[in-house]
Structure 1
Amino acid sequence: MEPDICVVVPTIREYECMRSYFHNAREHGFDLDRLFVLLVTEDFCDTEGMEAMLDDEGVAGAVFDESARDEWYAENEIEEFSHLVPAASHAQTSFGLLYMWAHPEYDYGVFIDDDTLPHDEWDFFGRHVENLHREDEVESVSSDEQWVNVLYQNVDEHGLYPRGYPYSAMDETVETDIRDLRDVVASQGLWTNVPDLDAVRILMDGDLEGQAQTRTDFDDFDGDFVAEPGQYLTVCSMNLAFKREVIPAFYQLPMDDNEWEVGRFDDIWSGVFLKRAADVLGKDILTGYPLCEHNKAARPTFDDLNNEVPGLELNEHLWEIVDEVGGDADTYAGVFEAMADALADGDWSDYRNGDFFNYVGEHMQAWLECLDQLTAPRAAVPADD
């Protein structure tokens, strides 16, 4: 079987975690020939060791450090768009999306962070692919704040809200129902052990090492759910599968490498854009299983805080902006273009670092141009006589 799933792993340290995912696949009878594993790393990292690991496991894949990415941009005639993938940032997952777009044989993408491990209880890859084809009934969730806390199922016990959840949407009233799924385009698995929290919430939890004193386990999760149309939720890319079709609306935002020093909202904001596009087009994002074990390395909480503070006010308002545009579009690119134009052309001077919204919008516009360039017919190179 030829690979039809591109697994994108941003890594500078723990790439060996992928051996556990391959072992999980073998134990559950998942065909590893379906995977192409793309390790996105840096020039100073052990690229030879990464390549050797893939070879030893017998899994198809490639390793792209910064130099290799630059070569790939040149080969695909998109050097002018290289700025879309920020330097030294988790948002380099966007390179994986570009790679997928240039290879139409990949029907599905999977994002995995290198500080995670699969749980034996689930066929990790198999469950994600199954989720993307489900049509059964699941719990649907909404709130009076238009936001769904993905940790709502046991929030009365742990009181946690995930990274990226607006502070103004807390203390919401939650309503649940049951409904049929509508063309699932993304499958978000959640996490045991270290929850995905922002720095303010980590500090409030009494942890100075960037993790959390409050941990999550199996008892905190009770099956899959969807956020109702018009409701938003945080989308974390550490354990996520998606259909190829969403790539035009799933750009991982240009964080860290910017003059405002805004960071750590790349997957959060891309999830807001994807949810808006999914709602407009009548699609669903399924959240819940398979769980992964999140073993976030200790680091100063105040480092994360410094990265997040420049964008905290913007995060409170981004969803309100995109919720008002793109409603008449009939493609992912159409919805994304409407959101991009709203951000690029707006006056956000009332917000701290409001110009960053314009910067993001311009990058979103360039993202669509880049995707068009990747699929444009290329002029034939004349033969030497």
Structure 2
Amino acid sequence: MCTQTSTTRSIFSPLSGMALKDELDIVIPTIRNLDFLEMWRPFFQPYHLIVVQDGDPNKVIKVPEGFDYELYNRNDINRILGPKASCISYKDSACRCFGYMMSKKKYIYTIDDDCFVAKDPSGKDINALEQHIKNLLTPSTPHFFNTLYDPYREGADFVRGYPFSLREGVPTAISHGLWLNIPDYDAPTQLVKPSERNTRYVDAVMTIPKGTVFPMCGMNLAFNRELIGPAMYFGLMGDGQPIGRYDDMWAGWCCKVITDHLGYGVKTGLPYIWHSKASNPFVNLKKEYKGIFWQEDIIPFFQGVKLPADCTTVEQCYIELSKQVREKLSSVDPYFGKLADAMVTWIEAWTEVNSSK
């Protein structure tokens, strides 16, 4: 593990009065030098970074001067987790969840290294991190849809007919941000729309309703680690596995059924980042093609998941979910039995690492 520290000033949240630099880690998976951080320096420099290096652990990853960071490669993962390192994906951005495990903070923001600062319609740089924090520090409304979207935003409120008994909302566990320029498309859509770019900036945040699953993207995502952290497992993907590029979506499906069960909320919409790199659709198709077939069984499975009332912690929910994955999805492919084992190993590793803290 490589660690570097620099002196930074405290950044205070106008919403909470707390020093957010002491409450939030930024997790970045990468295989290359992190030059992209220069654009993010005004927003990221006060925060602690956890860099998870994928691929060859002997390659030297350079981080620009002035950032406070720790860097883990595969050798570190094997050393820290021992045999349980088998649950951490190799040669896939799913390795980022190791950073979630190692964090000691309440909040996590994760971003890909091909994502840059976007501009709002007025031309002003978007502070994505600030908007995510606002989303996480205000309640969600999963039980009744507000047609003015997020009623806790400045200039908005609950509309006529919204039950007063539900206006307190529930704690927000996940803030799912969006992307300008390169959309988060699957390979078949990339192939038929190779030149399509997202230029629409929609100034809205909404709560995803209870009982509704969604395709979570990990390239611009924040969450409350204390509320949902153990469920943010990005699965077993990449090298040696029959599937890739479903890591964040798997985590999103698992997290959504657990947040619904435990009474938390998920928001999506603002903030936007600028996604700069269109990945190769033919390479993506090779990684995705089994998932494209499997998702027709996976999504109905998650839509029908029922968790027992005595599952009152995220860990308990996740272990129960692993049992149901094994029971109901192993008939789709033996891979899901292996994934269920990895889900259990992940929780064991999470518990081990975090109890030692």
TM-score interval, smaller chain: 0.7 to 0.9
Between the aligned partners of 1:226 and 1:298, the Cα distance in structure 2 is: 29
Question: Do the aligned residues in 1 keep the contact of 2:116 with 2:274 (CA within 8 Å)?
Answer: yes
Question: Do the aligned residues in 2 keep the contact of 1:108 with 1:243 (CA within 8 Å)?
Answer: yes
| CA positional deviation for 1:14 | 5.4
Count of aligned positions: 310
| CA positional deviation for 1:376 | 4.0
Question: Do the aligned residues in 2 keep the contact of 1:111 with 1:238 (CA within 8 Å)?
Answer: yes
| CA positional deviation for 1:375 | 3.4
Aligned to 1:68: 76
Aligned to 1:381: none
Q: Secondary structure at the match of 1:126?
A: helix
**What stretches of structure 1 of length at least 5 have no aligned partner?**
26-31, 143-176, 208-212, 379-385
Which has the larger displacement, 116-125 or 283-292? 116-125
**One-letter code aligned to 1:39:** V
| CA positional deviation for 1:282 | 1.2
**One-letter code aligned to 2:49:** V
Structural RMSD (CA) = 2.5
Question: Do the aligned residues in 1 keep the contact of 2:108 with 2:223 (CA within 8 Å)?
Answer: yes
Aligned to 2:189: 201
Query: TM-score scaled by structure 2?
Result: 0.80
* Residue identity (%): 23
Between the aligned partners of 2:33 and 2:219, the Cα distance in structure 1 is: 13
Aligned to 2:351: 372
* Pairing 1:123–2:164 present: no
Aligned to 1:15: 34
Aligned to 1:88: 91
Q: 1:332 aligns with which of 297, 314, 319?
A: 314
CA 1:272/1:19 → structure 2, altered by over 3 Å: closer, same or farther?
Answer: same
**One-letter code aligned to 2:175:** S
Aligned to 1:110: 109
Q: Secondary structure at the match of 2:245?
A: coil
| CA positional deviation for 1:139 | 11
* Pairing 1:218–2:200 present: yes
Between the aligned partners of 2:356 and 2:60, the Cα distance in structure 1 is: 36
CA 1:140/1:121 → structure 2, altered by over 3 Å: closer, same or farther?
Answer: farther
CA 1:377/1:68 → structure 2, altered by over 3 Å: closer, same or farther?
Answer: closer
Question: Do the aligned residues in 2 keep the contact of 1:340 with 1:365 (CA within 8 Å)?
Answer: yes
Aligned to 1:318: 298
Q: Secondary structure at the match of 2:299?
A: helix
| CA positional deviation for 1:298 | 4.6
Counting only pairs closer than 5 Å after superposition, residues 212-361 of structure 1 correspond to structure 2 as 213-219=195-201, 221-245=202-226, 246-259=228-241, 261-299=242-280, 301-322=281-302, 323-328=304-309, 329-346=311-328, 348-349=330-331, 351=332, 354-361=333-340
* Pairing 1:183–2:133 present: no
Between the aligned partners of 1:305 and 1:136, the Cα distance in structure 2 is: 35
Which has the larger displacement, 262-271 or 116-125? 116-125
Question: Do the aligned residues in 2 keep the contact of 1:337 with 1:364 (CA within 8 Å)?
Answer: yes
**What stretches of structure 2 of length at least 5 have no aligned partner?**
1-9, 11-20, 119-123, 147-160
CA 1:215/1:44 → structure 2, altered by over 3 Å: closer, same or farther?
Answer: farther
| CA positional deviation for 1:368 | 1.2
* Pairing 1:39–2:51 present: yes
| CA positional deviation for 1:140 | 6.8
Between the aligned partners of 1:8 and 1:293, the Cα distance in structure 2 is: 18
Query: TM-score scaled by structure 1?
Result: 0.74
